[in-house]
Amino acid sequence: MKILAFAEQRNGQFKKVAFEVVKAAKTVADQLHAEVVALVVGNNITSIAGQLGGYGASKVVVVEDAKLELYSTTAYAKVIADIAKTESAEVLLLPASAMGKDVAPRVAVKLNAGLAVDCTALSVNGGTITATRPVYAGKGLVDVAIKTQTKIFSLRPNVFTAGNPSGATAAIEAKKVGLNDDDFSVAVKEVRQSSGKKDVAEADIIVSGGRGLKGPENFKLIEDLAGSLNAAVGASRAVVDAGWRPHDEQVGQTGKTVSPSLYVAVAISGAVQHLAGMSSSKYIVAINKDKDAPIFTVADYGIVGDAFEVVPALTTEIKKLLGK
């Protein structure tokens, strides 16, 4: 049996989640006595394909085409489904990233497969894969099993650990998939990167600010602390709605769901809708002047104090520690 792992790359570089997906595929494959085939789609990607051997792929299929340089919903769906068919893969793993979430349903229809999205754990029991996934923005967890012959799971980024690569190598196989103009009926023409900004959905550390900061100008404190930690800046909905911060920084039920290794909530009360988006973070620090703020119920460490004093002191201490 084969498990196909879609290894997402952009600009010729693997996303961290690509390694997580391949490694998770390997863990499942070992229990099913299966083999992991990784798939890389894009342009100028052959040189990076070999990296996936170290995470457990025995073979890497490379579909390289200048037309695939930028993501296309329809073309990528066709390529992934075609390769899944030619490899006779029964299980397909993708990242629950912007790309993975967009392409997975289309692949599911092409393969007539059941799809479980945004999984946070996969376990194997008597040959059956059970996936665990958060529902109700993390307020519930469900165990699900897929009944169809072909099964697709997408994995939440930052949850599965890739670890360090082993010395293992993989066979690299270049494949062509016939693509015509119709296959590009949905195509990205341009990617606009927010200038050098780290995104909360991918960051390992996030420093978020809330309404208690009183005004947009005071986010300088948050940016400085985030800078010292090489972290992304996040925000509560209250400050996004007030126009202090852009929507792409919003964390929560109607913002982004994040699971960094460290989440620092500054002057955020911890409303259920905010907690829904960040309570699965590995470590949570709360800084709030109200000792009864609900954010403290999910915090591992807290300082009950004035953010305007605590945050600059924290930035200084971190710089000291990291020798900046």
Partner 1 sequence: MKILVFVNHVPDTETKVKIGADGKLIDPAGVNYMLNPYDEFAVEEALKTRQSFGGEVVVVSLGGEANKETLRKALAMGCDKAVLLKDSAVRDSFAVAQSLAEYAKEYGAEIIFGGKQSIDYDDAQVGGLVAELLGWSSVSVVVKLEIKDGNIIAEREIEGGHEIVHAKLPAVIMAQKGLNEPRYPSLKGIMDAKRKPIEEKPASAAEIRVEVSAMRNPPAKASGKIVGTDASAAAELVRLLHEEAKVI
Binding-site string for partner 1 from residue 207 to residue 236, where x marks contact by CB under 8 A and - marks none: ----------------------x-------
Among 123, 282, 290, 324, interactor with partner 1 by CB under 8 A? 282
Distance CA 310, CA 77 (A): 49
Q: Minimal distance in Å, beta carbon 324 to ligand FAD?
A: 25
Bridge pairing between strands 13-14 and 9-10: antiparallel
- Is residue 248 at the binding interface for ligand FAD, with CB under 6 A as the rule? no
Among 103, 122, 179, 266, interactor with partner 1 by CB under 8 A? 103
Among 187, 218, 227, 294, interactor with partner 1 by CB under 8 A? 187
Distance CA 83, CA 76 (A): 11
Q: With CB cut-offs between 5 and 8 Å by kind, which of ligand FAD, partner 1, none does residue 116 bind?
A: partner 1
Q: With CB cut-offs between 5 and 8 Å by kind, which of partner 1, ligand FAD, none does residue 262 bind?
A: partner 1
Among 54, 95, 134, 212, interactor with ligand FAD by CB under 6 A? 212
- Is residue 304 at the binding interface for ligand FAD, with CB under 6 A as the rule? no
CB neighbour list of residue 157: distance below 8 Å, 6 or more residues apart = 15, 16, 17, 20, 95, 96, 97, 201, 202, 259
What is the three-class DSSP state of 129? Answer: strand
Neighbours of 273 (CB within 10 A): 15
Token pair belonging to 24: 């998770």
CB neighbour list of residue 296: distance below 8 Å, 6 or more residues apart = 270, 286, 288, 302, 304
- Is residue 242 at the binding interface for partner 1, with CB under 8 A as the rule? no
Per CB under 6 A, residues contacting ligand FAD are 210-212, 236-239, 250, 252-255, 267-269, 271, 273-274, 277, 288-290, 293, 306-308
